[in-house]
């Protein structure tokens, strides 16, 4: 505490940052209340009425603090929500990117209620990533309170289908990013509260095998099993893994056959792939599509590909991290960076060359799990960091 007080006395800029942190500490319960409100509105990706409900609420909340809301209609998923804020400087905006869909089916709240325990807030989607959306809202409000208006234009884009591939929103995300100076992704923080400066690319493939059916007892020799062929293909697929180079291939879901006494005519495997470098996508795709049947009477077909190229730690990403680290240092926070295996919509924006900093949302554990939670005491400095990065540009 003495060191902090000395820093307040000796550095005007340091004093401002401690005062701003105190502002968010005072506002912590209000911020927490906003998060709880969002968590208690269930919004699974596959339920359009549910996602539209929370999307409309968020449009209203951001409009209430001076934003101009625009709804991008979607058919198969919830509508996506864009909110534009003017700023003092007439320069390109920063894009705040997030999603309000969750992986939890409708009706999860009764068995996984939103609750506070041991300094943590639990609930479906609280970490991934409704706390991040609340941080956006309160950081914008704080800048307006401190400065009278936002120092620069800000675009908020909230997506309804990130958890299932962002198919309705990707083109809009990339278009908005191209108009922006930088992108801040409010996905959960990394280990020890780190921001994320690299993410693996993500893809999905489906391999189908067409075999020849036969009676397993009467004519076993006339059949050509799609299941046996698929098993051999899965063994071949597993050999494509190169973990040392950050490439992984995981046959995750298999289906096949109709009855135990029928040699299977069809079998399918769904495959998750992760890549560390963009150039790995083409090489992996070529290998996937060059698979040959071991049994020449079986036919293979494959579809899919890499949906999200990697978010690589390039010069633009590194520059944003340097700014964030310098801002955090004002409050004695040694902000770390992390590279992670999961993908986000930040992969899209970084993939088209827009400086992107990810993992700026809530800090906690258990994303997509029954113990999903955020650490409440970390909320003030997460909000402070975002406010500072908006101001720094």
Q: What is the CATH number of the domain that holds 314?
A: 3.40.630.10
Domain that holds residue 108: 2-200+310-392
Instruction: Write down the pLDDT at residue 195.
Output: 98
Q: Are residues 301 and 318 in the same domain?
A: no
Q: Are residues 229 and 103 in the same domain?
A: no
Per-residue pLDDT band at 8 (split at 50, 70, 90): very low
List the one residue out of 381, 363, 325 whose CA is nearest residue 20. Answer: 381
Q: What are phi and psi of 197, to 5 degrees?
A: -110, 0
- Where among 260, 282, 308 does a domain terminate? 308
How many whole angstroms separate alpha carbon 357 and alpha carbon 185? 6
Question: What DSSP designation does 190 have?
Answer: -
Average pLDDT over all residues of the chain: 95
193-235 residue pLDDT tens: 999 999 999 999 999 999 999 999 999 999 999 999 999 999 9
Q: Are residues 206 and 179 in the same domain?
A: no
- Where among 291, 308, 325 does a domain terminate? 308
Q: Are residues 24 and 150 in the same domain?
A: yes
- Where among 308, 339, 357 does a domain terminate? 308
List the one residue out of 195, 114, 196 whose CA is nearest residue 374. Answer: 114
Q: What angle do CA 199, 200, 203 make, to 5 degrees?
A: 135
Q: Are residues 22 and 154 in the same domain?
A: yes
Q: Are residues 149 and 20 in the same domain?
A: yes
Using an 8 Å Cβ cutoff, are 160 and 129 in contact? Answer: no
How many whole angstroms separate alpha carbon 140 and alpha carbon 143? 5
Instruction: Write down the pLDDT at residue 6.
Output: 43
Query: What total of structural domains would you count in the chain?
Result: 2
Instruction: Write down the pLDDT at residue 143.
Output: 98
48-77 residue pLDDT tens: 999 999 999 999 999 999 999 999 999 999
Q: Are residues 354 and 224 in the same domain?
A: no
Per-residue pLDDT band at 5 (split at 50, 70, 90): very low
Q: Are residues 170 and 270 in the same domain?
A: no
- 7 pLDDT above the threshold of 50: no
Per-residue pLDDT band at 1 (split at 50, 70, 90): very low
The residues with which 306 forms a beta bridge, in sequence order, are 203
Distance of CA 135 to the CA centre of its chain: 15
Instruction: Write down the pLDDT at residue 11.
Output: 52
Please report, for the chain, how many H helices and E strands are present, in that order: 11, 18
114-165 residue pLDDT tens: 999 999 999 999 999 999 999 999 999 999 999 999 999 999 999 999 999 9
- 4 pLDDT above the threshold of 70: no
- Of the listed ranges 47-51, 179-183, 305-309, 354-358, the least confidently predicted one is 305-309
SS3 at position 164: helix
231-281 residue pLDDT tens: 999 999 999 999 999 999 999 999 999 999 999 999 999 999 999 999 999
How many whole angstroms separate alpha carbon 354 and alpha carbon 181? 7
Q: Are residues 293 and 318 in the same domain?
A: no
Q: Are residues 229 and 122 in the same domain?
A: no
- 30 pLDDT above the threshold of 90: yes
- 12 pLDDT above the threshold of 70: no
Per-residue pLDDT band at 13 (split at 50, 70, 90): low
Q: Are residues 275 and 264 in the same domain?
A: yes
Question: Token match 């998923």: residue?
Answer: 77
Q: Are residues 41 and 168 in the same domain?
A: yes
Q: How crowded is the C-beta side of 207, counted as CA atoms within 13 Å?
A: 32
Supply the CATH number for residue 218's domain: 3.30.70.360
């Amino acid at each position: 505490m003495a060191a902090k007080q000395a820093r307040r006395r000796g550095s005007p800029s340091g004093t401002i940052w401690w005062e701003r942190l105190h502002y968010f500490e005072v506002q912590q319960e209000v911020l927490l209340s906003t998060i709880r409100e969002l968590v208690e509105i269930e919004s699974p990706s596959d339920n359009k009425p549910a996602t539209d409900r929370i999307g409309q609420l968020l449009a209203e909340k951001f409009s209430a603090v001076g934003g101009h809301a625009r709804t991008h209609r979607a058919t198969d998923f919830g509508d996506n929500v864009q909110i534009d804020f003017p700023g003092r400087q007439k320069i390109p905006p920063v894009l705040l990117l997030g999603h309000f869909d969750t992986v939890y089916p409708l009706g999860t709240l009764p068995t996984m209620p939103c609750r506070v325990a041991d300094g943590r807030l639990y609930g479906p989607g609280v970490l991934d990533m409704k706390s991040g959306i609340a941080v956006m809202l309160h950081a914008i409000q704080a800048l307006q309170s401190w400065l009278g208006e936002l120092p620069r234009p800000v675009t908020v884009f909230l997506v309804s289908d990130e958890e299932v591939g962002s198919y309705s929103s990707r083109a809009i995300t990339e278009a908005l990013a191209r108009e922006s100076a930088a992108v801040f992704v409010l996905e959960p923080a990394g280990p020890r509260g780190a921001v994320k400066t690299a993410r693996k690319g993500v893809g999905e493939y489906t391999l189908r095998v067409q075999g020849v059916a036969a009676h397993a007892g009467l004519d076993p020799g006339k059949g050509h099993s799609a299941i046996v062929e698929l098993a051999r293909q899965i063994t071949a697929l597993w050999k494509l893994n190169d973990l040392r180079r950050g490439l992984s291939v995981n046959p995750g879901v298999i289906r096949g056959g109709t009855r135990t006494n029928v040699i299977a005519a069809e079998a399918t495997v769904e495959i998750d792939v992760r890549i560390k470098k963009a150039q790995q996508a083409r090489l992996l795709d070529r290998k996937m599509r060059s698979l040959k049947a071991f049994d020449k009477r079986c036919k293979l077909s494959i579809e899919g590909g890499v949906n999200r190229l990697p978010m690589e730690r390039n010069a633009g990403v590194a520059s944003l991290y340097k700014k964030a680290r310098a801002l955090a240092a004002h409050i004695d926070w040694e902000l770390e960076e992390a590279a992670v295996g999961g993908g986000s919509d930040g992969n899209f924006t970084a993939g088209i060359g827009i400086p992107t900093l990810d993992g700026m949302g809530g800090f906690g554990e258990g994303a997509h799990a029954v113990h999903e939670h955020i650490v409440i005491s970390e909320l003030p400095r997460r909000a402070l960091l975002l406010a500072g990065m908006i101001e720094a540009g």
